[in-house]
Amino acid sequence: MALSKIDAVNFLTGTIPSGNVANASLNAVTALPAAIETGSIVKLQTQTASTSSSITFSSTYITTTYKKYYLDYTNVVISSDGGNIAATVSANNGGAYTTSGYYYWRIFSNSADGNNSIASGGGTGNSSLLMVGTGVGLGTSTDESGSGRMTIFDPFSADSKLFISEGLCIGNDGTLVQQYIYQGLVTSTTINNIKISPNTGTIVSGEFTLYGVTT
Amino acid sequence: MTHTHKLIDGVRIDLTAEEIVEIEAREQAWEAGAFDRAMEDLRFKRNAKLAETDFHGMSDRTMSAEMTTYRQELRDLTNGVTTKEQANAVVFPTKP
């Protein structure tokens, strides 16, 4: 297709002729046209821990709207050296939490280890969903903290519930620890609430953000 | 550790007396299992180190005396460990 006209003046200055666009000024743009996708990851809520015993995302945010959720945790510090943070889920918005029967398989390595020194193992009877601080616990010394993400797959599915935690921390031994934990809960019961807590003590600080993922 | 509150959807909510009792009971159970967890972690790491040298035992190789000693030291690592402090203080042998 050949160009029918080139406006030489506007080409040089970069000015858009106002007649060619609905809003010639960026300040006048207040919304994207409906036809443009706004993205597939939607931030639902951020909570900031402050010596908190637990942090919960309720059925207000965990809904049938999304088939997948990301739970990000950043710069988490807990009060007990060597502890970890983990989550339990509820089918009735916190009325009761499942505290047994979590399947898991974890793999972790440590910056203090040599090449190819990767530890792994699993089980079927965990009391919670591991997040970060397993294998080597979270440290409490200055500059020691943990971060990561838990992917929650379709909590409203009629099939088993599946989770992946990927985290890293400067552990209580002062090394960098990388952790991947694949987890499952064999139940057809839906999930609409997740509670995060340390195994002992409190969550001194850290940000927890829940995202909904459009699939 | 003093427990005062929880966060639900970003709202700070004071813990009830019952909730504090429940948390403290969970913490006591956690403390009671400290030695078992320390031993589990120790075996976890030990087994990884054994696995990374398993190939020395293949039929087409001859394991050196140094490697044999190293692997035996790994297997013996948990002998005599009876406290959490001892488990956390274990020093792994150096791989030849």
Helix (H, G, I), strand (E, B) or coil at A172: coil
Q: What is the pLDDT of residue B82?
A: 94
Q: What is the pLDDT of residue A174?
A: 83
CA distance A24 to chain B (A): 40
Taking the C-alpha atoms of residue A53 and residue A23, their distance in angstroms, rounded to an integer, is: 50
Region A73-80: what's the mean pLDDT? 93
Helix (H, G, I), strand (E, B) or coil at A93: coil
For residue B91, the Cα-to-chain-centroid distance in whole angstroms is: 13
Region A173-193: what's the mean pLDDT? 92
> Is A146's pLDDT higher than 90?
yes
Report which DSSP code applies to A14. Answer: -
Which residues of chain A have a CB within 8 Å of the CB of B19?
Answer: 53
Of the candidates A113, A103, A128, A100, the one whose C-alpha atom is nearest the C-alpha of residue A173 is A113
Q: What is the pLDDT of residue B84?
A: 86
> Is A18's pLDDT higher than 80?
no
Helix (H, G, I), strand (E, B) or coil at B74: helix
Handedness of CA A72, A77, A83, A87 (dihedral sign): negative
Taking the C-alpha atoms of residue A34 and residue A32, their distance in angstroms, rounded to an integer, is: 6
Q: Which candidate in A199, A204, A205, A208 is best for mutational testing of the B interface (most B CBs within 10 A)? A: A199
Could you read off the pLDDT of B17-58 as tens digits, one per residue?
Answer: 999 999 999 888 888 888 888 898 888 888 888 988 888 888
For the ranges A23-27, A34-38, A82-86, A100-104, the maximum mean pLDDT occurs at A100-104
> Is A36's pLDDT higher than 80?
no
The better pLDDT of the pair A69, A23 is held by A69
Tell me if chain A has a CB within 8 Å of the CB of B56: no
Least confident of A9-23, A159-173, B34-48: A9-23
Q: How many CB pairs under 8 A join A and B?
A: 67
Could you read off the pLDDT of B63-92 as tens digits, one per residue?
Answer: 899 999 999 999 999 999 999 889 988 999
For residue A109, the Cα-to-chain-centroid distance in whole angstroms is: 21
